Structure 1
């Protein structure tokens, strides 16, 4: 199984990956690394975030013995990673990306990551190309 968490759900996702062998990998959406100091997840992990959250997540890859992908997404706000892109009437809470583009972006990265690490398909999140989405770092301490 794979697991995804947004905001405070991201560190929860990482802890589940670290502590529960049933999970093959995890994804954090604009999250942090609270409570993960010195934790080796021993699982591939993907982070999608808007800057400056890289520094909040750097500890995950620094300790993870498996691949950790850090993707920076521009023109988004914190709540763009959840269904507020379709339900909010307060545009001040939103970034500049179209709601469907944001849904497709999160879906594509999630699907490719899970397809690779759970279903063992020959796909890669690094092959995806969205304007303003940059791989900041990929780490592996193998």
Structure 2
């Protein structure tokens, strides 16, 4: 999904183009937090609109491309950063989403006070995780004070399976393809292909498990293929052995 004003550029059906608009500066983290709650709420509404539209097209597609071809009983969602925040808020608001994965996103909105019903996976970069240390001399620029208590509430109150994976040598943009663009700057301690393969492999394993019901060794513990990735025992909990 391309979200108007928070994606690089969105082109509407009438040809009108809307570019990204940077948010205002705020004096306190609480003001920024509330601004993000509003922004993510709009994006979660976009997700509901997409699901509504897909349901309509599955019944009656004017272009006769998707009609009767969509399995909307097995729908998942994932996103990075603000997209990860959008994903988890959409999960909290819409039961049609059967599983969700956040790549280092925040928890802004109703999700911070709602027990998730769907399986959920969170992947955190090792560099950002260092900001959790109260004695850290510097904080990552994507870290904010409210993050840790929100994360704890979401992961501990969930009614379904949760996975919390931390990846050493990753930083916030490691979840993109930036390492392929400039390996010397952005592939830290690994090849750019391996960098991309970590995110791709764990995401595929998660959704194959919870949308297709296929057992996945990558979800069951450490992997020799990806020694950088470690599950946190506190937040990684299998609550529903029958989840498909």
TM-score by structure 2 length? Answer: 0.52
The C-alpha deviation readout for 1:73-107, integer Å capped at 9, x for no partner, is 0011110101212224781x553332111211111
Count of aligned positions: 141
Match of 1:139 in 2: 237
In structure 2, relative to structure 1, the CA distance for the partners of 1:7 and 1:29 (3 Å cut) is same
The C-alpha deviation readout for 1:16-72, integer Å capped at 9, x for no partner, is 112122211010112222333212221101111114178363332122111110011
1:74 aligns with 2:172: no
The whole-number CA distance in structure 1 between the counterparts of 2:213 and 2:183 is 40
* More deviation, 111-120/18-27: 18-27
In structure 2, relative to structure 1, the CA distance for the partners of 1:4 and 1:128 (3 Å cut) is farther
Larger Rg: 2
Are the aligned partners of 2:221 and 2:231 in contact in 1 as well (CA < 8 Å)? no
Are the aligned partners of 1:64 and 1:140 in contact in 2 as well (CA < 8 Å)? no
- Where 1:97 maps in the other structure, the secondary structure is coil
User: 1 or 2, which has the higher strand percentage?
Assistant: 1
Moved segments of 4+, more than 6 Å: none
Please give the root-mean-square deviation of Cα atoms over the aligned residues, in Å: 2.3
The whole-number CA distance in structure 1 between the counterparts of 2:182 and 2:108 is 28
Q: Which runs of 5+ in 1 are unaligned?
A: none
Q: Which runs of 5+ in 2 are unaligned?
A: 1-74, 133-147
Match of 2:122 in 1: 47
* More deviation, 123-132/104-113: 123-132
Match of 2:200 in 1: 107
